[in-house]
Amino acid sequence: MQIDAIIEKGPDGFFSIRSEQKIGRYFFGGYGENVKSAKADFIESVRESMEGAAKEGSEIPSRMDISFKYDIPSFFNYFDYLNVSKFAEFAGINESRMRAYKSGLAYPGEKTTRKIMKAIETIGKEIGSARL
C-alpha cells in the first residue's frame, strides 16, 4: 500500500501530517512541535489504524510505503542541517526571501518552487553519487 503523507507547518507553529489513504475506516494523521515528532505521531497513527482495522476484520496490507511531501518550512525543519543561506545561494534565490519561505512568512511562486525543487534534486544526486 502506498501512503502519500503531506507535511505542513500550521499557523500555530506546529507541524501536521495528513493523508487521504486509509485502512478500513481509519485515516492517518500526525502532529508535533517539529517534523520529527509529527512523523513519529503519524507512524503511530498508522500502527493504531492497522490494529483497529484488524479488530474489525478489515483487510490489512502486507506492505506499506510512506512517501512524505513537505512544504518549505517543514522541509527545512526536518533537514535542519542544511544551511538556508547556502541553499539559497546554490538555488539562485534571494537569501532573505529564502529565510521568509523557511519560516512560513512568505510562499514561493511556481517558478521559485521549481528552482527550489531543482536544487534539492541536484543536491540529492550529488550526495548520492559521492564516495568516501
Using CA of residue 88, residue 74, residue 24, residue 56, what is the dihedral sign?
positive
Instruction: Kindly report, residue by residue over 102-123, the tens digit of the pLDDT.
Output: 999 999 999 999 999 999 999 9
pTM: predicted TM-score of the whole model, two decimal places: 0.86
Q: Are 65 and 34 in a shared domain?
A: yes
pLDDT exceeds cutoff 90 at 10: yes
Q: Which residues contact 130 (CB under 8 A, 6 or more apart)?
A: none
Number of domains in the chain: 2
Are 38 and 64 part of one and the same domain? yes
Strands 15-23 and 2-9: antiparallel
24 shares its domain with 62: yes
Banded model confidence at residue 32, pLDDT cuts 50, 70, 90: very high
In a domain, 77, yes or no: no
Mean pLDDT computed over 72-99:
95
pLDDT at position 62: 85
Domain boundary residue, one of 44, 70, 96? 70
| Residue 51: domain span | 2-70
